[in-house]
């Protein structure tokens, strides 16, 4: 599906302006990821961001990006483009699903945590 097709199909999200544009580009590039661990069935979602992968929990909602920390959590904005990307990719059925062994879970979570703490340290 082209970016123009995505823009038309998900125009109801156009109110998000530049975030919508970035979200559509993110979905079109296949950057919304589901990391499924077997046999436990644990799932971790990430979205490839501008500088690194962002951990998201769409049920909370939560994102590890600085926009979420400083604008969404403070009530200045409704969402970040990573969570909007997930919403669009979910509706489209275009989440990139990757399966891992349970033994790889700790490594992925530690890498995500390291990225989050590195970002927080950089923002001080």
pLDDT band at 36 (very low <50, low <70, confident <90, very high): very high
Summarised one tens digit per residue, pLDDT across range 41-81 is 999 999 997 778 899 999 999 998 889 988 999 999 999 99
Summarised one tens digit per residue, pLDDT across range 76-113 is 999 999 999 999 999 999 999 999 999 999 998 888 88
pLDDT band at 124 (very low <50, low <70, confident <90, very high): low
pLDDT score for 114: 84
**What is the 3-state secondary structure of the chain?**
CCHHHHHHHCHHHHHHCHHHHHHHHHHHCCCEEEEEEECCCCEEEEEECCCCEEEEECCCCEECCHHHHHHHCCCCCCCCHHHHHHHHHHHHCCCEEEEEEHHHHHHHHHHHHHHHHHHHHHCC
User: In terms of pTM, does the model score above 0.85?
Assistant: yes
pLDDT score for 6: 94
């Amino acid at each position: 599906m082209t970016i123009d097709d995505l823009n038309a199909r998900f125009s109801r999200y156009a109110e998000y302006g530049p975030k919508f544009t970035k979200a559509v580009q993110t979905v079109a590039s296949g950057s919304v990821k589901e990391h499924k661990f077997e046999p436990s069935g644990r799932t971790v979602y990430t979205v490839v961001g501008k500088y690194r992968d962002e951990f998201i929990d769409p049920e909370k909602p939560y994102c590890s990006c600085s926009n979420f920390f400083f604008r969404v959590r403070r009530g200045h904005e409704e969402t970040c483009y990573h969570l909007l990307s997930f919403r669009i990719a979910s509706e489209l059925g275009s989440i990139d699903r990757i399966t891992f062994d349970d033994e790889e879970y700790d490594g992925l979570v530690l890498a995500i945590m390291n990225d989050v703490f590195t970002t927080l340290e950089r923002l001080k």
